[in-house]
Chain A
């Protein structure tokens, strides 16, 4: 039995409670009484994966069905992985401690590009061939979903099928189909054929890719009568009524987001042109305040968490945010529960909201202007003015007593010039001056401004999918210029993400099928946990690029024409390509687009859902 064998090893590794299961609210069933066993894999550490809301939703959803049993699997940290390999312990699921190779499904949720090598490593650790073509009919079906599968092409060699869009309905349809075909003794191929007919299921082996002489994609064509030419993503029509867990598995060790989380809305009205989530999760749908309050109470009571967070891409865009907060704080104050509100927009920052945030604890404030000048903020359609930033900071300093502000920016945005970089420094200096202009500022206190700069990564299904990523030399120049432009070095500190990580993100995000070999090679060379600075091996990735003949510039640093066939062209995320082109042109002209609530920008989503997203014509 796996349990006895791992118990001997657990005291030799860091944080062993994450490898043994048994957490509160974890679901244990009698395996002889279920039809379909699903190993839900998060290709990163327990602490990261257990914080992920999508996994919590699908875990509860599947387990609510009596005949399905969904279990959790995470990537073991390197110390435990080594012991597992030395002792021939295969990757196992936390509920039953059974090897995942004996399951019906292995499902990965893919949240970021930097976990791709972990997917291969987990399959290998499970004792399975990492390539789909090498796995036989007696092995589990390997599926994947999540935001990254909007361009699944770099992973097609390893995954049998992808789940495109929101999972609440299609996951159950897929498992029902499997249960049915399993009873009838169908082959894997027959299952994949039937699955390909479900809306939102993409079986990559049923598609052939043709290339032009210049290396760009010429066409992606279905080679099976079961597979549609275009796979359209699934969406949940009514978010207020969709399944939501009444309880979460409560871990023993501290995880990244160690709190109850209530999803309050899906999609985003904003249309920031760099933001993939803002486009691929459209349309905007929200929950009523009654539902939010009910779900908050239920989660807090079943978990004992002392903190609840209202989660979404932009929580301040909830229509009745103030009413919801009033209702919620009646409950949370009585129960000593902290309410946290991430993802608040700077232009929505009010005295009322500040008061709510402060009830939790007065940590620093974080705003994301993303760009240093109004011109560039208009290019990216951030729709935030300098006055709004200053107003929010004035409120925070003069009335809130804050002394620390964190500002997020991106470097290497399309059309960015040196003036835009200097603008970041100027904005930070203005905020510093504002702080000291307050006659009632806390005595002896100084302002601390942290500027955090990410490198812009162009992503599929955004108006910037056509854009090249800035080169390393350009980014280095921008970083130096920013540092040189800051006068108050003591009060303003600057940090940035590792460029060499961002470049891998760019290649993988916009890559095609030919990158499967590269990922395989990188993994074979020892790459894993690429998102972890201490384990990231850029040198090995360079070797893998070289060995597989991949030109980084071709994928990351090349501007793509509007009429270029993208490797993900056969997937439909409801937002039309014409709209992305139009938005890209507007970006070039520095023209903004109003948010969806103000005016429909005609992105194509409303046509797909058969009615307007907002107002009286709402579908």
Chain B
């Protein structure tokens, strides 16, 4: 059977942020099934709809430009595919566009986040604590290693805070973090490190992933 590989860029927001990665897989498969598009099934004893997510998103983080790979068995109009799928998406999930993939999973290198730190301190105090943390020699966090269990890792060289904004009641931070197979730092690792360092008791931390980039800095598409 013909197999045409496609990639969807989608948004995960609202109530859908509470869908875990594993559950997202199932949710998407069911939406594909309902949509009746000519989706490609894996071959084998127990065929299922093929789906691949180049980069998982942590529970609770909003995704504005997430990616999902699938395949169809016959050529189809991308906009029509998108619309068929969107008719079946539950609240908070929306396909933005469908295209032919250019990069592979292994090319993913970075992700950009917009993180709002609410409450606990005045935004300007939060900012000065952030600056103080970034000026330290090391920012050590406990990171799970495949072979050694929990190990102390210095994430300082990997944190690229690109911009900060003092807002009404919260501090907004734009940060680029390594993502993908070689080195991966979730937004949560960064926010935990900051909460831990600053001792500020934030009332709410809203994280949003805005972009996924390749190792060479190109947009992942």
Which residues on the A side are within 8 Å of B23 (C-beta)?
A: 17, 252-254
* Distance in Å: Cβ of A46 to nearest Cβ of chain B: 12
**Best-buried of A21, A24, A304, A361 by chain B (most CB within 10 Å):** A304
Q: How far is the CA of A16 from the CA of B60 in the complex (A)?
A: 9
CB <8 Å contact, B29 and A306:
yes
Which chain A residue has the least Cβ–Cβ distance from B92? Answer: A22
Which chain A residues (283-339) contact chain B, with CB distance < 8 Å? 301-306, 336, 338
* Distance in Å: Cβ of B110 to nearest Cβ of chain A: 24
A10 interfacial by beta-carbon distance below 8 Å: yes
Give which listed residue, B19, B32, B34, B204, contacts A17 with CB less than 8 A.
B19
B41 interfacial by beta-carbon distance below 8 Å: yes
Task: Tell me whether A304 and B30 are in contact in the complex, defined as CB-CB below 8 angstroms, given that A253-B20, A361-B45 are known contacts.
Answer: yes
Chain B residues touching A, range:
20 to 34
Which residues on the B side are within 8 Å of A242 (C-beta)?
A: none
Task: Tell me whether A17 and B90 are in contact in the complex, defined as CB-CB below 8 angstroms, given that A8-B203, A306-B33 are known contacts.
Answer: no
Which residues on the A side are within 8 Å of B45 (C-beta)?
A: 361
* Distance in Å: Cβ of B28 to nearest Cβ of chain A: 10
B132 interfacial by beta-carbon distance below 8 Å: no
A540 interfacial by beta-carbon distance below 8 Å: no
CB <8 Å contact, B32 and A22:
no
Which residues on the A side are within 8 Å of B92 (C-beta)?
A: 22
Which chain B residues (1-45) contact chain A, with CB distance < 8 Å? 14-16, 18-20, 22-23, 26-27, 29-34, 41, 45
Q: How far is the CA of A250 from the CA of B30 in the complex (A)?
A: 9
Give which listed residue, A8, A20, A302, contacts B15 with CB less than 8 A.
A20
Task: Tell me whether A15 and B30 are in contact in the complex, defined as CB-CB below 8 angstroms, given that A20-B15, A22-B91 are known contacts.
Answer: no
Task: Tell me whether A304 and B18 are in contact in the complex, defined as CB-CB below 8 angstroms, given that A11-B60, A23-B90 are known contacts.
Answer: no
Which residues on the B side are within 8 Å of A361 (C-beta)?
A: 45-46
Task: Tell me whether A305 and B15 are in contact in the complex, defined as CB-CB below 8 angstroms, given that A17-B23, A253-B20 are known contacts.
Answer: no
CB <8 Å contact, B34 and A303:
yes
Q: How far is the CA of A11 from the CA of B62 in the complex (A)?
A: 13
CB <8 Å contact, A10 and B18:
yes
* Distance in Å: Cβ of A252 to nearest Cβ of chain B: 5
CB <8 Å contact, B47 and A22:
no
Q: How far is the CA of A23 from the CA of B18 in the complex (A)?
A: 11
Which chain B residue has the least Cβ–Cβ distance from A23? Answer: B90
Q: How far is the CA of A338 from the CA of B90 in the complex (A)?
A: 23
Which residues on the A side are within 8 Å of B32 (C-beta)?
A: 304
Binary contact track B39-71/A, C-beta < 8 Å → 1, others 0: 001000111100000000001100000000000
CB <8 Å contact, B90 and A22:
yes
* Distance in Å: Cβ of B157 to nearest Cβ of chain A: 28
Binary contact track A1-28/B, C-beta < 8 Å → 1, others 0: 0000000101100011101111110000
Which residues on the B side are within 8 Å of A305 (C-beta)?
A: 30, 33
Which chain B residues (88-115) contact chain A, with CB distance < 8 Å? 88, 90-92
16 contacts between A and B (CB under 8 A): A10-B60, A16-B60, A20-B15, A20-B18, A22-B91, A250-B90, A252-B26, A252-B27, A252-B90, A253-B20, A254-B22, A254-B26, A301-B34, A302-B34, A304-B31, A336-B41
Residues of B within 8 A of A (CB): 14-16, 18-20, 22-23, 26-27, 29-34, 41, 45-48, 59-60, 88, 90-92, 203-204
Residues of A within 8 A of B (CB): 8, 10-11, 15-17, 19-24, 250, 252-254, 301-306, 336, 338, 361
Extra contacts, 12 of them, besides A252-B27, A254-B26, A304-B32 (Cβ < 8 A), are A10-B60, A17-B18, A17-B19, A21-B15, A22-B90, A22-B92, A24-B90, A250-B30, A252-B23, A254-B22, A304-B31, A304-B33
